[in-house]
Amino acid sequence: MRTRLPPLVLLLLTLTACMSSATPPSTPTPDYTPTTTFTLTPVPSPSPIRTSAPTDALATPVDPPPRPFDYTVVNPNPPRRAPNATRAFWVTDTTTGERREIEARLRAQTEHVAMWVEESTWHDVRQLEEAAIFFEARTYPATRAVFGSEWTPGVDNDPRIHILHATGLGEGVLGYTSGGDEFPRDLYPFSNEAEMITVSAAEIKVGSHAYHALLARQFQRLVQWFQDRNEERWVKEGLVELAIHLNKLNTGAPEQAYLEHPDTSLVGWEDESAAAHRGAAYLFATYFHERFGNEGTQALMAQPLNGVAGFDAALADLNRDITFEKLFAEWLAANYLDGERATYGYTTLDLERPAPAAIYESYPVTLESSVQQYGADYILLQGDDDVHVQFTGVTATPLLDVLPHSGRYLWWSNRADESLTTLTRAFDLSGVEQATLTYWTWYDLEQGYDYATVEVSVDGGEQWQTLHAPSGSDADPNGNNPGWGYTGNSAGWVREEVDLAPWVGDEALVRFVYLTDEAVTGAGFLLDDVAIPEIEYADDVESGAGGWEAAGFVRSDNSVAQNYLALLIGPGETITVERLPVEEDQTAEWIALLGSEGWGEAVLVLSGLAPLTAHPALYELKISRLSRP
């Protein structure tokens, strides 16, 4: 109420600028009852910003499958280590990307914690012992009670979380976890083969409030990795912040950056606005937990579906008569009202009101603007007369900032952390003596960490050989390259030509693969105009799937169906929250009863509801005064 790091590595940076230590003021607010306060009149004609949606504009996301993982245990028996035992660990300097192997000594342990310190690094054994007890008694059980379990006894057959205190992790880095440590070393050469957290001995004091917060944050990441490795980033980061909140280890006010910039996408993540994204994700995760408790959060963690689809599935599993879209709408109202009722407020937070996108007190007004997908424009309407609001949106929004190489359609790899998507087709090369695969590609992949490859199989897909595409490389700075792959940015469409001569005379499968690590993704991998001239095969993607089998790939005309959410919040002794109807063509007319109801002010809330795209939703508002009779 009111009153990057290397692959597979997640960092906690000392970015205090992303947080605020100020406590918002408290202001009592009345209770809330949804009522009908608007009338709808169909809009007879579209405005100049109207665009028509292609009939097959993408309306529903395709969930990318996670990277395969076998959960291999490397030790047949649990390891036994006495105090002062030593072992080698890989650590990473996140500033230079350099990896080095160090020796560390075991200095304290409990049933579920092992504290390691890099050799020749000063430390206080008593502080390590006390920190281990704190984690064992508080952080470990409290986090598991809400989010579930990490992989235990895990890759090393040891139930302990190994906490390594080391130097040289990079400027400003407090610590990290790496999903690569869960892999056997023969699959990932830099793996430490343990469930572990690496802490900077130089940047943070053992046993401090910030230290305990760091361990809670990174332990939740270990749980998340085991429960749902390829969950969307906004969900993962929101749950990480929720873990800090529930452990009462907050080190700032992450929500503040979002409340200052509420037109920030809840479901997206851009590095330049990461603080606002984190604040939004934190608020939504906290709101969800307050509404549905540990049961709800555990249902979400257990869902293999990701993002919006994961929330919808979790809510269905809970037998709650609510969808993500409705919950999102109520959350936007709660962020503005922060009242005593759970639907429209928080019990554990006191929020400042979100910054308004515009304040109008004189009319008529015409506004041409945009709102982020799952962001929010809070528009204050003030005055003593009722006002007429005409809304016009668009019915489609671009998926990516690139056009197909030819025609209207292309193949898109999708984008997600810790995922593997494929596009596969069979070709009969038995009647030719030479074969050449040509195609056009455009790609934006995290440099050195995420890859796309083209592969061939002649045994029905049992074994695959990576082909040497001209723009690919075998460089493997972080152990993620599957052999020969694309990474980085193509800077435009590139024509590729690959020799298939070794496989002529056979039935061959050709597939394109998109492979990502656990953090940070680019726009993905695009494909168009695929051909094998020797067998007179050519596909410009214009006539359907064309025999290609897509596992996570999406055939797209580079547009997504655009829908909008509109709310109106009215003041008074009983505050009203009304979801405003929007026609299928994304137009609407509403009447706001500022004068006749004696409000004097109302808040119009607008949001875009298109999936997948980072492009904002365009809209136009025309607001005029209605004269009193």
Domain ranges, ordered by start, for the chain: 73-229, 410-557
Hey, what are 570's tokens? 């009215």
Q: Which of 554-568, 586-600, 613-627 has the lowest mean pLDDT?
A: 586-600
- Write down the pLDDT at residue 64: 77
- Write down the pLDDT at residue 596: 77
pLDDT band at 628 (very low <50, low <70, confident <90, very high): low
How do residues 328-362 score in pLDDT, each as one tens digit?
999 999 999 998 777 999 999 999 999 999 999 99
Q: What is the mean pLDDT of residues 601-606?
A: 96
How do residues 240-258 score in pLDDT, each as one tens digit?
999 999 999 998 899 999 9
Contact criterion met (CB below 8 Å) for 164 and 116: yes
What predicted TM-score, i.e. pTM, was given to this entire model?
Answer: 0.87
C-alpha distance from residue 304 to each of 135, 215, 225, 526 (Å) = 29, 26, 12, 25
The dihedral through the CA atoms of 197, 190, 226, 194 has a sign that is negative
How do residues 501-532 score in pLDDT, each as one tens digit?
999 999 999 999 999 988 888 999 999 999 99
Statement: residue 185 has pLDDT above 70: yes
What span, in angstroms and rounded, lies between the C-alpha atoms of 105 and 616?
52
Q: What are phi and psi of 293, to 5 degrees?
A: 70, -170
Contact criterion met (CB below 8 Å) for 422 and 414: no
- Write down the pLDDT at residue 324: 98
Hey, what are 622's tokens? 């025309």
What percent of the chain lies above the pLDDT cut of 70?
90
CA 401 to chain centre: 19
Statement: residue 588 has pLDDT above 90: yes
Q: What is the mean pLDDT of residues 364-375?
A: 98
Contact criterion met (CB below 8 Å) for 444 and 433: no
Estimate the share of the chain in helix, then strand, then coil, as percent rounded to the nearest 5.
Answer: 20, 30, 50
Hey, what are 492's tokens? 């435009």
Q: What is the mean pLDDT of residues 481-501?
A: 96
Over the chain, what is the mean pLDDT? 89
Considering the four listed CATH numbers 3.40.50.970, 2.60.120.200, 3.30.420.40, 2.30.40.10, the one that applies to the domain covering 410-557 is: 2.60.120.200
Q: Using CB atoms within 10 Å of the CB of residue 611, give its burial: 0 to 12 exposed, 13 to 18 middle, 19+ buried.
A: buried
Contact criterion met (CB below 8 Å) for 478 and 448: yes
What span, in angstroms and rounded, lies between the C-alpha atoms of 99 and 93?
6
What span, in angstroms and rounded, lies between the C-alpha atoms of 393 and 535?
47
C-alpha distance from residue 527 to each of 23, 245, 596, 615 (Å) = 50, 43, 58, 21
Bond preceding residue 153 cis, omega within 30 of 0: yes
Residue (of 512, 523, 529) closest to 440 by Cα position: 529
Q: What is the four-CA torsion angle of 206, 208, 212, 218, rounded to 10 degrees?
A: -60
Statement: residue 54 has pLDDT above 90: no
Return left, alpha or beta for 557; rule: phi > 0 is left, psi -120 to 50 is alpha, else beta: alpha
The CATH classification number of 73-229 equals: 3.40.30
How do residues 435-482 score in pLDDT, each as one tens digit?
999 999 999 999 999 999 999 999 999 999 999 999 999 999 888 899
